[in-house]
Amino acid sequence: MVALQSVAGVVLLAVGGVLGAYALSHYRRYRIVADTPTTDLTTVDAGTVELKGTVSAVRETAAPTVHGHDTAAVEAWEVEEWNERGDGARWKTLALGVDGGEFVLETDDCEEVVVDVPTESSGSFSLPESLLSTGMSGVAVGDLAVEVRRMPHVQVDPESGTPDRIRSFVHSHRDVDTQSGSITNLIDIGNAHGERRYHSQTIGEDDSVYVLGHARVDPEAPTPPRAEHVTVGTDPEGDTPMIVSTLREDRLLSRKRTRWRLAGAAAALALLAGLSLLWGPYLSGAGPA
């Protein structure tokens, strides 16, 4: 019995450590958003910038999108599949990502700057990402995050024909496998094994956006450089995350605050429970088995 408690304690400590690291990463993003003032683009230096404005033009579009939009600059997406293997049935995330492009942001003070959003995706997820879902309201891959109000989905039955736009989307994304038929299609009631939900949201022309990123200045720009000599993208040093959001800054901060607090509370509970299981037998005098 004591041995089982020790194993469970070690597992909980490991879970707590992972959740703690997840909470710290989100707290770091929260602090950067909260502490970075909106950048004055009349003169710009290389480094972290915060911008608010409207997408005035799309220079480079994203890959084929879930909903068939052909003028989007950015798409956040997540693919889920109904899985009935094992002891239970649940929606399992297969892959998520950000398809980036390039757009011109007209800021609130009427300056224009180019924003270059990279393309990132992942087909593997940590425990915190599984437990603390964004609620289909954004995607984060590494230091790139896209936050939106909601991500509507397209649901595809495994036995029906796949829409052309979904087939094009899957073909252009190496982390998304082709959908296969259901292994329980004769007895399924409700969702069929292999059924998929393709969640996505795009950002394009006329959308209001918040951007946090790293300003790169054209080496041939005059001194001091102006907005037209700057491209905002990811930080090559990895010190600053890149965030593109259709949310107002206060709403974005509120969401990030909630995430790091939930993750931090879960980490504290897991660590306390793990320590209790490991030290409980010794404190009660039972000792090791």
Between CA 28 and CA 244 the distance in angstroms is 16
Parallel/antiparallel/unpaired status of strands 144-147 and 242-245: parallel
- Report the half-sphere exposure of 17 (CA within 13 A, side-chain side): 8
Between CA 13 and CA 271 the distance in angstroms is 5
User: What pLDDT is stored for residue 5 in this prediction?
Assistant: 77
Mean pLDDT by 10 residues, the chain (289 residues): 77 86 86 92 86 96 92 94 77 91 93 95 65 66 92 86 89 85 55 86 96 91 81 91 95 90 91 85 59
- In the chain, helix, strand, coil percent, each to 5? 30, 30, 40
Which amino acid is present at 46?
A
Beta carbons of 77 and 99 less than 8 angstroms apart: yes
Question: Residue 191: how many CB atoms within 10 A of its CB?
Answer: 19
Q: What is the DSSP letter of 108?
A: T
Between CA 177 and CA 175 the distance in angstroms is 6
Contacts of residue 256, defined as CB under 8 A and 6 or more positions apart, other chains included, come to 26, 29, 30, 33
Parallel/antiparallel/unpaired status of strands 112-116 and 230-233: parallel
Q: Which residues pair with 269 in a beta bridge?
A: none
The tokens of 156 are what?
């595809």
User: What pLDDT is stored for residue 287 in this prediction?
Assistant: 53
User: What pLDDT is stored for residue 53 in this prediction?
Assistant: 95
User: What pLDDT is stored for residue 133 in this prediction?
Assistant: 46
The tokens of 87 are what?
């002891």
The tokens of 29 are what?
């993003």
Identify the CA nearest to 96 among candidates 248, 12, 242, 198: 198
User: What pLDDT is stored for residue 239 in this prediction?
Assistant: 83
Parallel/antiparallel/unpaired status of strands 208-217 and 242-245: antiparallel
